[in-house]
């Protein structure tokens, strides 16, 4: 059976305001329980919400960045349900009149194709608190620090057709949010959470199948894996002639499967109505234009510029513009080295390898962009070769000093003196007469492979410091004689 | 001796004729003597009151007095008072000690007023007779077999019986005006948004409004000067500038155009009540006003509209009372659902539960349009009626309630009998305009209140009109027997 | 509009109110009375009339994004029926 996969993503992004959506309590991850709360976030009697203007600005920034209609009058609505981490017994959200309306963004897939994904809407709402289930002997502990943290809920149209596309979309949203500086995108800490709505339908059918919702997936890898297992689960059921139950599920990364969420099983009547403690938010076109005209350069714009300005490939431009921090790092390095290709290769290669090994994002790299640039300059000016540079980088990573400090203290300056190199090569050839004879007797093709042996010997003799670019022609010349 | 105006009391305090400590002690003595009968107080803060009185006397002596320094008042028990029990008349909050202060009580304290205690009220402000309080019914000082009105019944009874100089109340559908009428005192429901709702335990957010209850319009003006005004902590608080509510009390009423809605004076109004009110209204003509008949065609729809909107908002506002972070939690909950359902069923009285359910139903899927939205559309029609009428006249007058105070227990069996009593006050709340209840006579020994309604932010005008009436008449100076000599 | 027993139970559950059988019958009667009262609303045509929420039709004021509150955990936990280590405790929630 040829199934068409239909996916819509809902992303909840915690906005980087200093204070909460409706109170002046501080926001932030990791504080002691209930130390970042005030009567408003605790739902105490008589408490009233007052709306944070920065959250509004951030929401409008996002709307402008995804070419969306902006709601000139938007309304806060109460979503009523009972849960211990929801202190008022309702969540203040937006229902019929969200701040951001229809928009779209384009994602570039690995094979280079561009896909336009529609955005249905984005709205502001307050986050709930946290429940802690361990340590309390049959009781659950409630921490309301997170209660009333501003969230931007971004809802995509069901335009996504594959797991890869879903990940690309999620990454693009992540890019945009971090580029705008409105969310730190830290999925592990829950600053950005994804809900996946997935259904299958026979190819060619226009009617949607029954969908399930997989809630709170907090990494790109898990998004992909969750989608694959859910597709398989749904396909199995449908192919056996069964029906999909519309329900909420959770992805279990240990078992790599989704399971039904018990507490959300009963359909909830949220009894939405406009919150009477808040008034309609009315904004002007001037306000929107001021924001829209002053957006920082967005990921796709930056990637396009990188291609043009630095002659990078589409792929490289995409990788280097994925995050603003990465893009800024690249440009700082390139400014120093004046060599975009070299900078790109080394950042995407050796530096990324180190970052991944240590599970660090580029903004936490112990080697700053300027220092890194200085290292690359030493490669460019032939002070050291590529292999040595890797060692120097590792030493810089371990905080042993600047590139020049390390090169000097370890005596790593490359040998470029052609006379000395010629002497070294001649010595090697003299010491390996048998191999030289074999070389001269061999066919042209085989000779190419045998050069490696001599090159290795020369490098060994020079303790790796001979510049291969200089060795090669001299070696070839001497071997011809 | 002490049932004098605030102006007189302030003069006596400043002239050293009496001290604030004497004054406060006097009211505390009255409370001790009469309140076991009336039950108008839930909490009496005697020690802190006397301490504040001592400080007040010092401040007066040092020339540091504020506008209300040394004057003892009482607060309806839904204003959160820091470190003082605040119950909202409910078992749900029988142990709730707020760690914060409402704006209204803070401002009155800042102005120098002394808090005698927290007054009894219908549970969560839902009621018109003060019979639904967990802390027992309040009695009407004029006739102990009758209700004082509600939901601010405790405040009204306390003022009428001389247990306090003045009190704060709140009005959602008539809860200041109706008890003021039943107890023969003066009360003002300000324009919606005039007084901050921060720290005021919410009943219906788009209707609730705090206001003063006292023995005269002038006394109410003293309190309004402290209470009214923009508050950054309340998004629904208005930035329209306040004024000195005492400044224009003596403006003559020549040329004042008074509108009498024909729907208020139709066959449904008790003839004796009608006569009393029309006589009172004649006084205004002698003061230079003219009377004109107007129409508020959608008046009757205010009952269904209110009894959808208020319970709907309340059902949501009361969801926070869940036994998790404060308030009543049932014993030995077997799981979360049990904790919720039993805590709430035990903590809330029957009237509150009923209204929560009405509101839940009205907002629920499939009914929202027919109930809540419909009620809000009617609300706009009702507002339009007032806006239109107030283009033709300056103020509107009419009854506060269809009858004088009814007997305790007489309306508690019929689920909607009490609701129908609110016919004259609800539309004002829905429109958000200000209105007062002013003592205007007696029917068979029980007080009758005259309702005076005005345009948005016309409180100063209303107080002026009421004050002029009170210079000409003395209904507001009558005292119930039990309070004589208090 | 008359409500049956199941309607009342459904509403009570949404509102998290525990009702005995007797309660349920009583509320059936009283709720039906209230609903009959509000049926009056259907007698007027409100087509084209916008709903009115805030009576003064004000718009939302914006608050500056500054932290104004300090940690007052002990004060706010003081009214908790059950708490431990700075957390509010409830019977265990199973997800």
Q: How far apart are CA B117 and CA B413, in angstroms?
A: 32
Q: For B296, which DSSP code?
A: -
B416 to chain C: nearest residue by CA? C34
Indicate if the pLDDT at residue A263 is higher than 80: no
Please give the backbone phi and psi of residue B395, each rounded to the nearest 5 degrees, phi first.
-140, 165
Tens of pLDDT, residue by residue over C36-94, are: 988 989 989 999 999 999 999 999 999 999 999 999 999 999 999 999 999 999 998 76
Same domain? For A283 and A334 the reply is: no
Please give the backbone phi and psi of residue B22, each rounded to the nearest 5 degrees, phi first.
-60, -45
Could you tell me what percentage of chain C is helix, strand and coil, using 3-state DSSP and rounding each to the nearest 5? 40, 10, 50
Q: Which has the closest alpha carbon to A170: A11, A324, A314? A: A11
Mean of pLDDT values over A70-98: 96
Surface of A (124-163) touching B: CB under 8 A = 142
Tens of pLDDT, residue by residue over A413-425, are: 777 777 788 888 8
B98 inside 8 A of chain A by CB: yes
Mean pLDDT of the residues in chain B: 96
Indicate if the pLDDT at residue A232 is higher than 90: yes
Q: How far apart are CA B143 and CA B160, in angstroms?
A: 12
CA dist list (Å): A6 to A106, A122, A213, C26:
17, 20, 12, 49
- Helix, coil or strand: residue A179: helix
Q: Read off the pLDDT band of A136 (50, 70, 90).
A: confident
Q: Is the separation of the CB atoms in B150 and B179 below 8 Å? A: yes
Q: How far apart are CA A92 and CA A53, in angstroms?
A: 16
C27 inside 8 A of chain B by CB: yes
Spatial CB neighbours of A225, under 8 Å, sequence gap ≥ 6: A251, A253, A256
Q: Read off the pLDDT band of A381 (50, 70, 90).
A: confident
Instruction: Kindly list the residues from chain B whose CB atom is less than 8 angstroms away from the CB atom of residue A45.
Output: 80, 86, 88, 93, 96, 98, 201-202, 320-321, 326
B99 to chain A: nearest residue by CA? A39
Rg (CA), chain A: 29
Q: How far apart are CA A147 and CA A122, in angstroms?
A: 20
B239 inside 8 A of chain A by CB: no
B419 inside 8 A of chain C by CB: yes
- For the record, the structure tokens of A311 come out as 């002659």
Mean pLDDT of the residues in chain A: 91
Q: Is the dihedral of CA B361, B367, B369, B375 positive or negative?
A: negative
Expressed as residue numbers, the domain containing A341 is 299-409
Asked if residue C27 is part of any domain, the answer here is yes
Instruction: Kindly list the residues from chain C whose CB atom is less than 8 angstroms away from the CB atom of residue B371.
Output: 38, 41
Q: How far apart are CA A20 and CA A125, in angstroms?
A: 11
Question: Most C CBs within 10 Å: which of B361, B418, B434, as the mutation test of the C interface?
Answer: B361
Asked if residue C25 is part of any domain, the answer here is yes
Q: Read off the pLDDT band of B133 (50, 70, 90).
A: very high
Tens of pLDDT, residue by residue over B303-340, are: 999 999 999 999 999 999 999 999 999 999 999 999 99
Final residue of a structural domain among A272, A290, A308: A290
Q: Is the separation of the CB atoms in B190 and B434 below 8 Å? A: yes
Same domain? For A313 and A168 the reply is: no
The CATH number assigned to the domain holding A449 equals 1.10.10.410
Same domain? For A120 and A62 the reply is: yes
Asked if residue C34 is part of any domain, the answer here is yes
The total of structural domains in chain A comes to: 3
The minimum CA-CA distance between C74 and chain A, rounded to whole Å, is: 9
Q: Is the separation of the CB atoms in A118 and A154 below 8 Å? A: no
Tens of pLDDT, residue by residue over A305-363, are: 999 999 998 888 988 998 888 999 999 999 999 999 999 999 999 999 999 898 888 88
How many pairs of residues across A and B have Cβ atoms under 8 Å apart?
Answer: 97
Indicate if the pLDDT at residue A258 is higher than 70: yes
Instruction: Kindly list the residues from chain A whose CB atom is less than 8 angstroms away from the CB atom of residue C11.
Output: none
Record: contact B320-A48, CB cut-off 8 A: no
Question: Most A CBs within 10 Å: which of C10, C15, C62, as the mutation test of the A interface?
Answer: C62
Tens of pLDDT, residue by residue over A427-455, are: 888 888 888 888 888 888 888 888 888 88
The CATH number assigned to the domain holding B470 equals 3.90.1300.10
Asked if residue C73 is part of any domain, the answer here is no
Q: What is the pLDDT of residue C95?
A: 56
Expressed as residue numbers, the domain containing B164 is 6-252+461-483
The CATH number assigned to the domain holding C21 equals 1.10.20
Instruction: Kindly list the residues from chain A whose CB atom is less than 8 angstroms away from the CB atom of residue C76.
Output: 34, 37, 39, 42, 44
Same domain? For A242 and A361 the reply is: no
Indicate if the pLDDT at residue B240 is higher than 60: yes
Q: How many CB atoms lie within 10 A of CB A419?
A: 7
As a whole number of angstroms, the longest Cα–Cα distance in chain B is 70
Indicate if the pLDDT at residue B372 is higher than 90: yes
Q: Which has the closest alpha carbon to B51: B118, B115, B119? A: B115
Q: Is the separation of the CB atoms in A77 and A94 below 8 Å? A: yes
Expressed as residue numbers, the domain containing C15 is 5-42
Final residue of a structural domain among A243, A273, A290: A290
The minimum CA-CA distance between C81 and chain A, rounded to whole Å, is: 13
Burial category of A293 from C-beta neighbours within 10 Å (exposed 0-12, middle 13-18, buried 19 and up)? exposed
Question: Most B CBs within 10 Å: which of A38, A86, A271, A272, as the mutation test of the B interface?
Answer: A271
Same domain? For A135 and A267 the reply is: yes
Record: contact B339-C15, CB cut-off 8 A: no
How many pairs of residues across A and C have Cβ atoms under 8 Å apart?
Answer: 120
Q: Which has the closest alpha carbon to B92: B152, B44, B135? A: B135
Q: How far apart are CA B303 and CA B280, in angstroms?
A: 27
Q: Which of C18, C50, C58 sits opposite B345 (nearest CB)?
A: C18
Tens of pLDDT, residue by residue over B159-207, are: 999 999 999 999 999 999 999 999 999 999 999 999 999 999 999 999 9
Q: Which residues pair with C91 in a beta bridge?
A: A139
Q: How far apart are CA B186 and CA A257, in angstroms?
A: 69
Q: What is the pLDDT of residue A265?
A: 46
The minimum CA-CA distance between C49 and chain B, rounded to whole Å, is: 6
Question: Most C CBs within 10 Å: which of A83, A138, A279, as the mutation test of the C interface?
Answer: A279
Record: contact B377-C49, CB cut-off 8 A: yes
The total of structural domains in chain B comes to: 1
Q: How far apart are CA B133 and CA B120, in angstroms?
A: 7
- Check residues A406 and B396 and name the one with the higher pLDDT: B396
- For the record, the structure tokens of A358 come out as 């240590």
Indicate if the pLDDT at residue B373 is higher than 70: yes
- For the record, the structure tokens of B123 come out as 């549970």
Q: Read off the pLDDT band of B416 (50, 70, 90).
A: confident
Asked if residue B246 is part of any domain, the answer here is yes
B238 inside 8 A of chain A by CB: no
Q: Are strands B257-261 and B290-294 parallel, antiparallel or unpaired?
A: parallel
Same domain? For A23 and A111 the reply is: yes
Instruction: Kindly list the residues from chain B whose CB atom is less than 8 angstroms away from the CB atom of residue C51.
Output: 373, 376-377, 379-380
Q: Catalytic residue numbers of B?
A: 76, 151, 175
The total of structural domains in chain C comes to: 1
């Amino acid at each position: 059976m040829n199934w068409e996969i239909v996916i819509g993503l809902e992303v909840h992004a915690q906005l980087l305001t200093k204070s909460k959506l409706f109170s002046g309590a501080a926001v932030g991850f990791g504080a002691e329980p209930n130390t970042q709360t005030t009567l408003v976030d605790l739902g105490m009697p008589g408490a009233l919400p007052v709306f944070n203007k920065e959250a509004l600005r951030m929401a409008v920034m996002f709307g402008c960045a995804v070419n969306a209609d902006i709601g000139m009058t938007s309304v806060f609505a109460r979503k009523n349900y009972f849960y211990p981490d929801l202190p008022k017994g309702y969540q203040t959200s937006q229902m019929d009149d969200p701040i951001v309306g229809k928009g779209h963004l384009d994602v570039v897939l690995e094979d280079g194709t561009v896909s336009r994904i529609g955005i249905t809407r984005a709205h502001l709402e307050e986050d709930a608190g946290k429940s802690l289930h361990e340590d309390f002997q049959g009781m659950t502990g409630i921490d309301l620090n997170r209660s009333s943290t501003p969230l931007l809920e971004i809802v995509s149209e069901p335009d996504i057709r594959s797991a890869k596309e879903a990940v690309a979309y999620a990454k693009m949203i992540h890019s945009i949010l971090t580029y705008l500086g409105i969310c730190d995108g830290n999925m592990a800490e829950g600053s950005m959470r994804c809900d996946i709505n997935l259904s299958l339908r026979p190819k060619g059918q226009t009617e949607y199948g029954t969908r399930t919702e997989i809630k709170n997936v907090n990494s790109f890898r898990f998004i992909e894996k969750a989608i694959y297992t859910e597709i398989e689960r749904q396909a199995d059921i449908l192919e056996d002639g069964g029906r999909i139950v519309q329900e909420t599920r959770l992805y279990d990364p240990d078992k790599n499967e989704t399971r039904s969420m018990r507490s959300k099983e009963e359909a909830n009547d949220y009894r939405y109505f406009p919150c009477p403690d808040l008034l309609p938010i009315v904004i002007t076109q001037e306000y929107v234009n001021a924001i829209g005209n002053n957006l920082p350069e967005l990921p796709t714009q930056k990637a396009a510029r990188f291609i043009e300005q630095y002659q990078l490939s589409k792929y490289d431009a995409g990788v280097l513009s994925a995050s603003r921090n990465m893009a800024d790092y690249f440009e700082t390095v390139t400014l120093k080295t004046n060599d975009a290709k070299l900078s790109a290769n080394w950042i995407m290669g050796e530096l990324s390898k180190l970052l991944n090994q240590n599970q660090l994002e580029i903004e936490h790299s112990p080697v700053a962009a300027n220092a890194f640039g200085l290292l690359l300059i030493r490669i460019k000016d032939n002070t050291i070769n590529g292999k040595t540079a890797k060692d120097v980088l590792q030493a810089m990573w371990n905080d042993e000093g600047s590139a020049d400090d390390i090169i000097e203290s370890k005596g790593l300056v490359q040998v470029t003196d052609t006379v000395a190199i010629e002497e070294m090569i001649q010595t090697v050839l003299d010491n390996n007469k048998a191999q030289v004879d074999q070389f001269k007797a061999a066919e042209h093709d085989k000779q190419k492979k045998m050069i490696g042996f001599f090159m290795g010997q020369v490098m060994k003799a020079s303790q790796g410091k001979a510049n291969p670019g200089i060795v090669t022609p001299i070696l070839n010349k001497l071997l011809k004689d | 001796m002490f049932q004098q105006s605030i102006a007189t009391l302030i003069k006596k305090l400043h002239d050293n004729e009496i001290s604030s400590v004497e004054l406060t002690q006097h009211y505390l003595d009255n409370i001790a003597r009469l309140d076991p009968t009336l039950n108008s107080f839930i909490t009496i803060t005697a020690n802190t009151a006397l301490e504040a009185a001592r400080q007040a006397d010092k401040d007066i002596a040092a020339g540091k007095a504020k506008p209300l320094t040394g004057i003892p008042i009482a607060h309806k028990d839904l204003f959160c008072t820091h470190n003082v029990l605040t119950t909202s008349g409910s078992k749900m909050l029988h142990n709730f000690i707020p760690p914060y202060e409402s704006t209204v009580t803070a401002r009155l304290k800042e102005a120098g007023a002394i808090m005698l205690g927290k007054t009894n009220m219908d549970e969560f402000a839902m009621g018109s007779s003060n019979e639904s309080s967990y802390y027992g019914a309040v009695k009407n000082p004029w006739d102990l077999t009758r209700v004082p009105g509600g939901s601010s019944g405790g405040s009204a009874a306390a003022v009428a019986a001389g247990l306090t100089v003045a009190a704060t109340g709140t009005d959602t559908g008539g809860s200041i005006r109706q008890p003021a009428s039943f107890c023969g005192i003066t009360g003002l429901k300000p324009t919606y948004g005039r007084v901050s709702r921060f720290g005021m335990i919410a009943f219906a957010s788009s209707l609730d409004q705090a206001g003063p209850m006292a023995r005269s319009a002038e006394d109410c003006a003293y309190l309004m000067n402290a209470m009214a005004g923009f508050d950054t902590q309340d998004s629904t608080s208005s930035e329209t500038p306040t004024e000195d509510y005492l400044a224009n009390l003596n403006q003559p009423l020549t040329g004042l155009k008074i509108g009498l809605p024909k729907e208020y004076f139709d066959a449904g109004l008790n003839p004796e009540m009608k006569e009393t009110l029309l006589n009172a209204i004649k006084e205004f003509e002698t003061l230079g006003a003219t009377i004109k008949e107007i129409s508020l065609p959608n008046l009757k729809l205010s009952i269904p509209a209110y009894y959808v909107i208020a319970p709907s908002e309340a059902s949501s506002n009361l969801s926070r009372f869940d036994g998790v972070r404060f308030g009543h939690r049932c014993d030995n909950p077997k799981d979360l659902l049990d904790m919720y359902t039993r805590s709430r069923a035990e903590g809330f009285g029957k009237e509150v539960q009923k209204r929560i359910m009405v509101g839940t139903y009205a907002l629920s899927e499939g009914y929202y349009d027919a109930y809540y939205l419909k009620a809000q559309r009617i609300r706009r029609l009702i507002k339009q009626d007032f806006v239109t009428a107030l283009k033709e006249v300056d103020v509107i007058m009419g009854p506060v309630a269809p009858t004088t105070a009814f007997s305790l227990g007489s309306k508690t069996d019929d689920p909607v009998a009490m609701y129908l009593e609110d016919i004259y006050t609800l539309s004002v709340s829905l429109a958000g305009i200000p209105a007062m209840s002013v003592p205007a006579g007696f029917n068979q020994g029980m007080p009758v209140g005259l309702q005076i309604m005005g345009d948005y932010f016309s409180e100063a005008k209303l107080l002026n009109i009421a004050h002029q009436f009170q210079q000409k008449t003395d209904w507001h100076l009558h005292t119930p027997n039990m309070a004589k000599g208090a | 509009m008359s409500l049956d027993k199941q309607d009342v139970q459904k509403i009570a559950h949404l509102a998290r109110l525990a009702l005995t059988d007797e309660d349920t019958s009583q509320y059936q009667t009283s709720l039906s009375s209230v609903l009959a009262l509000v049926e009056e609303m259907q007698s007027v045509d409100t087509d084209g009339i916008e709903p009115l929420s805030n009576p003064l039709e004000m718009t939302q004021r914006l608050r500056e994004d500054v932290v104004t509150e300090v940690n007052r955990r002990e004060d706010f936990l003081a009214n908790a029926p059950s708490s431990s280590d700075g957390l509010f405790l409830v019977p265990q929630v199973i997800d």
